[in-house]
Amino acid sequence: MRKKCRKIIVLMLLGCSIFLFRDSICESKKSAAALQEQRSITVGVPIDRCPVFYIDDSNKIVGIGAELMKAAALEAGLEVSFKSLDGLTLKEALDSEEYDVVMPFGSAIISASGKKSIVTANFMQTPFTLVTDGEKELSSLNNLRVGMLKSLGGAAETVHELYPGMEIILYDSMADSVKALRNNKVDCLLHNSYVWSYVLQKPSYHNLVVQPALMFSMDFMAGAIDNSDNRVLIDKLNKGISTLNENYIQSVTLDYTSRKLYRYDLEDYIYEYGIIAFLVVVLIVSILVIAREKIKKEKRHQEEKLNNLINTDSLTGVLSMDGFRKKAEELIRNHPEIPYMISFNNINNFKFINDSFGWEWGDELLKFWTSKSLASLSEYEVMGRITGDRFAVLRKIGGDEDMNSDNEEIITPIRNFFIDRGKEYQIQICSGVYVLTPEDYKNIDIDRMLDFARVAEKKVKATRKDGFSFYNPEQWEKGKNVVEICNHLPVALKSGEIQVWYQPQIDYSKGKIVGAEALCRWNHYKLGFISPAKFIPLLEEAGIVVDLDSYVWEQVCKDLQKWNEQGDHRYVSVNLSRLDIREGWDIADHFNTLVKKYDVATDQLRIEITESAFADNPKMLIDSIIKLRKYGFRVEIDDFGSGYSSLHMLKEVPVDCIKLDLHFLSGTGNMEKGNTIIRYVIQMIKALGMDLIAEGVETSEQANFLENKGCSEMQGYFFYKPMTRNEFEVLF
Ligand code: C2E
Ligand code: MG
Ligand code: MG
Residues 201 and 53 in one domain: yes
CA distance 252 to 262: 17
Maximum average pLDDT range among 274-278, 375-379, 472-476: 375-379
Q: How far is CA 680 from CA 271, 660, 683, 684, in A?
A: 89, 12, 5, 6
For ligand 1, say whether the CB of 636 is within 6 Å of any of its atoms: no
**C-alpha closest to that of 161 among 232, 227, 218:** 218
Strand partners, 695: 661, 715
Instruction: Provide the H-helix boundaries in 482-531.
Output: 489-495
CA distance 72 to 240: 4
Angle between helix axes 321-334 and 266-311 (nearest 10 degrees) is 120
Mean pLDDT of 150-175: 83
Length of the chain in residues, anyone? 732
Give the lowest-confidence range in 24-28, 66-70, 303-307, 450-454: 24-28
Beta strands in 134-227, from DSSP E residues, in sequence order: 145-149, 167-171, 188-192, 208-225
Position 532 pLDDT exceeds 50: yes
Residue pair 706/693 in contact by the 8 Å Cβ criterion: no
pLDDT of residue 16: 40
Residue pair 63/227 in contact by the 8 Å Cβ criterion: no
Helix or strand (DSSP H, E) at 46? none
Q: Over 623-671, what HEC string results?
A: HHHHHHHHHCCEEEEEEECCCCCCHHHHHHCCCCEEEEEHHHHHCCCCH
> SS3 for 113?
coil
CA distance 100 to 44: 8
Instruction: Among 493, 501, 519, say which to mutate for ligand 1: greatest number of ligand atoms within 8 Å of CB.
Output: 519
Q: What single-letter DSSP state applies at residue 498?
A: E
pLDDT of residue 13: 43
Question: Is 276 domain-assigned?
Answer: no
Question: Is 201 domain-assigned?
Answer: yes
Give the lowest-confidence range in 194-208, 293-307, 337-351, 616-630: 194-208
Residues 94 and 193 in one domain: yes
Amino acid of residue 624: S
Residues 450 and 569 in one domain: no
CA distance 564 to 568: 5
Position 624 pLDDT exceeds 80: yes
For ligand 1, say whether the CB of 51 is within 6 Å of any of its atoms: no
Question: Is 374 domain-assigned?
Answer: yes
For ligand 1, say whether the CB of 536 is within 6 Å of any of its atoms: yes
Instruction: Among 520, 540, 575, say which to mutate for ligand 1: greatest number of ligand atoms within 8 Å of CB.
Output: 575
For ligand 1, say whether the CB of 520 is within 6 Å of any of its atoms: yes
State the distance from the centre of ligand 3 to the C-alpha of 665, rounded, in angstroms: 14
Mean pLDDT of 495-522: 97
Residue that finishes a domain, picked among 257, 292, 308: 257
Amino acid of residue 545: V
Residues 154 and 188 in one domain: yes
Instruction: Provide the H-helix boundaries in 430-505.
Output: 438-442, 446-462, 473-481, 489-495
Q: What's phi and psi for 185, nearest 5 deg?
A: -80, -25
pLDDT of residue 642: 79
Position 50 pLDDT exceeds 50: yes
Mean pLDDT of the chain: 88
Give the lowest-confidence range in 30-39, 328-337, 597-606, 718-727: 30-39
Residues 153 and 124 in one domain: yes
For ligand 1, say whether the CB of 269 is within 6 Å of any of its atoms: no
Domain at 225, CATH number: 3.40.190.10
pLDDT of residue 261: 61
Residues 28 and 95 in one domain: no
CA distance 144 to 153: 17
pLDDT band at 161 (very low <50, low <70, confident <90, very high): confident
pLDDT band at 314 (very low <50, low <70, confident <90, very high): confident
CA distance 731 to 425: 72
pLDDT of residue 30: 37
For ligand 1, say whether the CB of 533 is within 6 Å of any of its atoms: yes
CA distance 437 to 441: 7
Residues 69 and 197 in one domain: yes
Position 19 pLDDT exceeds 70: no
Per residue in 354-410, pLDDT tens? 998 999 999 999 999 999 999 999 999 999 999 889 999 999 998 777 888 888 888
Omega into 127 within 30° of 0, i.e. cis? no
Question: Is 287 domain-assigned?
Answer: no
CA distance 691 to 656: 6
CA distance 132 to 97: 38
In this predicted model, which residue has the larger pLDDT, 348 or 497? 497
Omega into 722 within 30° of 0, i.e. cis? no
Question: Is 285 domain-assigned?
Answer: no
Position 31 pLDDT exceeds 50: no
Position 263 pLDDT exceeds 90: no
Question: Is 526 domain-assigned?
Answer: no
Omega into 504 within 30° of 0, i.e. cis? no
Mean pLDDT of 102-130: 90
Question: Is 215 domain-assigned?
Answer: yes
How many structural domains is the chain composed of?
4
Per residue in 172-229, pLDDT tens? 888 999 999 999 999 999 988 888 888 888 888 888 988 876 667 888 999 999 999 8
Give the lowest-confidence range in 248-257, 699-708, 722-731: 248-257
Instruction: Provide the H-helix boundaries in 257-358.
Output: 266-311, 321-334, 350-357
pLDDT of residue 505: 98
Per residue in 53-111, pLDDT tens? 889 889 999 999 999 999 999 999 899 999 999 888 888 999 999 999 999 988 888 99
Give the lowest-confidence range in 90-104, 411-425, 534-548, 657-671: 657-671
Residues contacting residue 91 through CB under 8 Å, at least 6 positions apart: 109, 110, 111, 112, 153, 154
CA distance 383 to 398: 17
CA distance 459 to 470: 9
For ligand 1, say whether the CB of 575 is within 6 Å of any of its atoms: yes
Residue pair 174/152 in contact by the 8 Å Cβ criterion: no
State the distance from the centre of ligand 2 to the C-alpha of 214, rounded, in angstroms: 94
Query: Which domain, by its residues, includes 687?
Result: 503-520+544-731
pLDDT of residue 669: 63
Mean pLDDT of 440-464: 92
Mean pLDDT of 645-670: 82
Position 17 pLDDT exceeds 50: no
CA distance 370 to 372: 5
Residues 573 and 464 in one domain: no
Residues 245 and 377 in one domain: no
Q: Over 333-356, what HEC string results?
A: HHCCCCCEEEEEEEECCHHHHHHH
pTM, two decimals, is: 0.56
Mean pLDDT of 23-29: 39
pLDDT of residue 37: 55
For ligand 1, say whether the CB of 607 is within 6 Å of any of its atoms: no
> SS3 for 22?
helix
Give the lowest-confidence range in 350-354, 397-401, 425-429, 465-469: 397-401
Question: Using CA positions, which residue lies closest to atom 43 of ligand 1?
Answer: 575
Amino acid of residue 166: M
Residues 244 and 336 in one domain: no
